[in-house]
Amino acid sequence: PRPAPPISSASPGVMALQRSDSMASGSSVIIAAEELRQRYVRHLGRDDGRDFQTNAHKMTSQNLANALKAKLSANCKCDTGPCGLKAGQAASSQKLHGHNRITPPKRENPWVKLMKLTFTGVFNVLLWSCVAAEVALIVFYQEEVKEGQPEKEADFVTPSLLSFVIVSAALLQWYTEMQAEALLDSLTAMQSKKQVRVVRQKDDGSRDEKNLDPDELVPGDVIFLEAGMKIPADVRIVYCADETQVDNSALTGESMPEVRTTVPASEDTPAPSATNLAFFGTSVLQGSATGVVFATGDCTMLGKIASAIAGGRTKSTLEVQIEHFVHTIAGVAVAVGLLSLWANLSSPIPRQPQQILENAASALFAQVPEGLLPTVTISLLIASQQMEKRNVLIRKLDAIETLGCVSIICSDKTGTLTSGEMTATDVVLPDGTRYTIDELMQLQSEAPATSTELLTCGLLNNGAKVEGSTAHGQAAMQRLHSKSSMAANEWTETWKLIGSPTEVAILRASIDVLGGSHVWHDMRVKYPTKFEIPFNSDNKWMLTVHAPQDVAYKADKRPYKVIVKGAPERVLDLCDRCGVQDMTPDLRRRIDTMLQELMSEGRRVLCLATKTVQLPAGHGFEGSKLDNLNFDLKTGLSFCGLIGIEDPPKEGVREAVAAAHQAGVRVIMVTGDHPETAKAIARRLGIAPEENDKFTAVTGSQIDKMMPNGDDFLGEEQDAAIMDFWHTCVTKTCVFARVSPIHKQVIVQAYQQLGGREGTGEVVAMTGDGVNDAPALKQAQVGLAMGIRGTDVAKDAADIVLLDDNFASIIQGMEQGRLAAVNLQKSIMYTLCSKIPQVAPTFAELLGVPQALKVTHVLLVDIGTDIVTAIAYALQASEADLMHSVPRPMSERLVGWKVLMYSYGYFGWMQMACCWATFFLVPGIQDLMSVPSEEWTAEEELVDVRGMTAYYWALVAGQLAAAVCTTTKSQSLFSYGLPNGALNVCIVFEVALALAAVYWAPMQGMFQTASLGWQSIALPVGLALVLCLVEEARKAIVRPSGGKPGY
């Protein structure tokens, strides 16, 4: 049973708590645990058991501690005095929540799994039935030999070869599935194993500080975090040093460090975005902190993700198609086998039981495409190598065909649709004019002086740093300090900026516009920083004070330059001047208008203002907010301008989105970003329409109210309001913003179960890079992980990895996937063409026709030649522009009635006619029809062997014609050209193998063939050419109907 969730989620017992017999026993520990459970519900609400939810980030530190019955010191640092849980409380919490570890998944014994893959499933049962029938024939045959019947060699080739094919296919599938289990191993590896410093209280109330194993932590424990530690549970930060940073990349995929604070978050802040929480599996980069554990084990964010991943994977479209195809072929094969059995039993010609069994087994066997699974697997392997050239790495082979069927792409924004790097793009100056950074760089010395002032303030009031990392970089640093100029390429090649994304964006723009890298050093020397108030959520601004070095001043007073940068609404309220003039209502309205314009375009906007104050030299600056500063900031502050920052769209993404739309694929943005920012980027990329609809963008808070009952939309009865909401979402919504990991999974489920024509469902691809994306990646039919920014867990959960993290690569991969599906369809169609001529001899025997084909000949065609030729279709070029048509609907079968009609009702019959024509023209064959086989002489038996060989050779020639004809569906071979080089080589190989079977003595003995005259060799070749001409006529007829490839 799942342990009861802590503060992050009330347990199922919250909803309907029933005391067990052990609770009723009066155990003080269990009673205390029961009280804790009720306390959690009262203070922190309830949970749906599926998503990660908590109120811990919205509570003050003391309120949280009270809810958990933990004691904090007055300053919350907890470095002295009694703090944390009492021993009895910790024991109760341990009883309630269990150990702090993620429940490992239940795994099937690998050998049992291999046995199931080998011996179960409709297709395998059918193949093993053929093996059993062949073995039974050998047993019957051996019994006949003991009774003195004419001695013949038993056929061990057929059952041995077929068994090898079955076991090989099972081993390949088993290996693939074993590799996939690495996903949950990666999650387990994220759990900390090092001991954690914890403070608790002894029973007498005294301080008890000790090191504990991470799995002994319970909600309410007060722990100490230091740089380099892996965070052992979900923790609420109650105290931290300045600039304490955590690395959440293992969880979110975002590589930038994140600063932690202790300030309670607002009501609308989702837990994953809260700066006062630290999550299980992430790590501390710098600084130190004191935290209160509020969730452990399966109830942490990582635990919820692990629970979501533990379920079964959604079947790929190829799995569904192959399953349908196998059931169809199995039905046909069994029906043909039973029909043959009935015909043999009803025949006026008396037959031995082993003959009846042999005929029925041969009829069934002839309809089974023994080489199907190896053909599909190896064809997909070839396609995967071709896709890798397009920066698309295939981890699960069946995803290739599924990618071609995708009708919905749910894409993350940051790093996939956008560059993943914040960039300053625009400035608004005090007079209300707007410039792009590129325009200012082009203007250079002609740029307005106010723009220089604005960017100088942006450079000085900035926490980002310049860092060089190579010997060449150190030499460049020396030149930088000596104020020598540096080339632009030297800057980009040898330097990097370290700091928050926003600060780096402003610093990079300032350096680019102001003249190069040396400006950074010049300004730092010219305006040394004397005082600083870092940005915090209370002030919403950052303040720096600088002492200009190039101005004269009196002994008692000197000028100081004060710069404020922060949220526009806060900084503008402090400004009573705008540039060199007073701030008037008209100027303020103009600035507000430009501010709204930037924000509507998805920019994050910062406002900068400055003033000069005259204070004594060496003045000791103090204060942390507007009310306690020891210098005046309430008057004289002048507005410098606005800087617009964004994570810009990647180059080529807009064109890729347009290509997706042209191919009938919708692109949906799924992001944790602000809805307005997400909508602006979506409009620029062509994902969202310009007109606004209330369902254009849906937020996580809206989804929270409309979560489905149960695990999906089909398992339990859903409220009408929930279904109406999601039906509207899957048809109208273009952007899902502020979403959690489980929201992403539900969004994918909605498209899969409620989308598509008449609600038949969509085929969904999902992109992601963090552990938090793993549930959605696994839920989607195609999970696409980022190769550069992606975490190991995301890559393990995904079917495909984008090596260049580029959305455009998805579209290229989709085109290759569609081509792979078309070629696979042609390959199967080619393979099935031989089934009619393979089964015909079994029924012809009932009419007195001599045996025309043996099971070994069928195997020689199906496995010896057809597999290799069928695989070569994977290299076939497209005969049409596949990206100008809609994806194949889920209801349309890869092997539908048109394919079956072509193979079984058209080309197969022509092949059969050619085979019989060749067979009956073998000298002496027709004479055998009047003599019972038991009375044949050795010469007559040799004639029958020649007839069978001729039939086999004609079948091979017919398959050569099929290989050529099925390379196109409607395009003439005279315009398309010969098949690809690999297929040409395979055709030559097929001819060589067939001729070896006819003329080479060792193969003659193994497959019971005999040498043929040139007439028997030439006739099938001529008939094969006739088949090709007939097929050209058919293609000429179907082309005018629209030219769309198809049958």
Q: What is the pLDDT of residue 363?
A: 74
Q: What is the pLDDT of residue 345?
A: 78
Which 3-state string (H, E, C) describes 365-410? HHCCCCCHHHHHHHHHHHHHHHHHCCCEEECCCCHHHHHHHCCEEE
Torsion sign, CA atoms 983, 985, 989, 991: positive
Output the CA–CA distances (angstroms, integers) from residue 559 to 546, 591, 767, 953, in the order listed.
Answer: 9, 29, 54, 101
Q: What is the pLDDT of residue 492?
A: 45
Q: Tokens for 218? A: 């319970």
In this prediction, the residues of the chain whose per-residue pLDDT falls under 70 are 1-51, 105-107, 137, 140-155, 157-158, 173, 176-192, 250, 253-256, 310-314, 347-351, 370-371, 468-495, 537, 555, 758-759, 1040-1047
Q: Tokens for 682? A: 């979506």
Among 898, 1024, 1005, 883, residue whose Cα is nearest residue 956: 1024
Asked whether the beta carbons of 617 and 558 are under 8 A apart, the reply is yes
Q: Tokens for 949? A: 């060989």
pLDDT in tens, 354-376: 777 777 777 777 777 766 777 77
Measured distance CA(558)–CA(636) in Å, rounded: 17
Asked whether the beta carbons of 408 and 765 are under 8 A apart, the reply is yes
Instruction: Report strand pairing: 288-295 vs 222-226.
Output: antiparallel
Q: Which residues contact 525 (CB under 8 A, 6 or more apart)?
A: 549
In eight-state DSSP terms, residue 892 is S
Q: Which residues contact 33 (CB under 8 A, 6 or more apart)?
A: 92, 93, 95, 96
In eight-state DSSP terms, residue 624 is S
Measured distance CA(618)–CA(1041) in Å, rounded: 89
Q: What is the pLDDT of residue 189?
A: 65
CA–chain centroid gap for 305, Å, is 15
Q: Tokens for 588? A: 């303020």
- Rg from Cα positions in the chain: 37
Q: What is the pLDDT of residue 38?
A: 53
Q: Tokens for 247? A: 């690395």
Instruction: Report strand pairing: 604-615 vs 638-646.
Output: antiparallel
